[in-house]
Amino acid sequence: STWEVGEFYSLANRSRRTRRPFNLAVPSVGRMVRVFVYGTLKKGQPNYSHMINGVHGTSQFQGRGLTVEKYPLVIAGKYNIPYLLNNPGKGHRVTGEIYFVDDQMLQFLDEFEGCPNMYQRIPVRVEVLEWENKNSTSEGTSANKNTLECYVYSTTTYQPEWIHLPYYDNYDSFGKHNLLYVLRESRE
């Protein structure tokens, strides 16, 4: 079988720290894993080109999704960076995009997101809203509302005051918040 199996600590019950299996690999695609992007890597956002240019590995858009749990999605810092704070149960269910990525792209995303210092890559449950490839099913989904596990980049290393910033359910760098994301090449 091409399924890769790992373990993670249940985010839903942090106090007991129960272990349970998870599987983010896609058996029909091989060594690719699911990633859920909610910020500047989405279509139409400032860093989307990294997802499609092929220089950093392979990514395949699969569809749109919504986190099953609520999370605080904030825009913070002098560069207006979107952060998904790893504080499940607070905030909103967050809308984003589901991609299959290969090992090379996953390694690039880890570096791009400053993992593990700035962001941490964690598995989260995502409800599938739209699936791109109508000829295939979203393999690995559960019977519960068509949900699946995806990696997401969230952070536990944030400034305490960020928890009091406005929460968003769907990030758009060009949104009404007027907090335009500053590209890395434009930063001081």
DSSP string, 125-176: EEEEEEES-TTS--TT-BTTTTEEEEEEEEBS---GGGGGSPP-SS--TTST
Task: Provide the annotated active-site residues.
Answer: 113
* CB burial string 17-45: b at 16+ within 10 A, e below: eeeeeebbbbeebeebbbbbbbbbbbeeb
Using CB atoms within 10 Å of the CB of residue 74, give its burial: 0 to 12 exposed, 13 to 18 middle, 19+ buried: buried
**What's the CA gap between 20 and 165, in Å, rounded?**
33
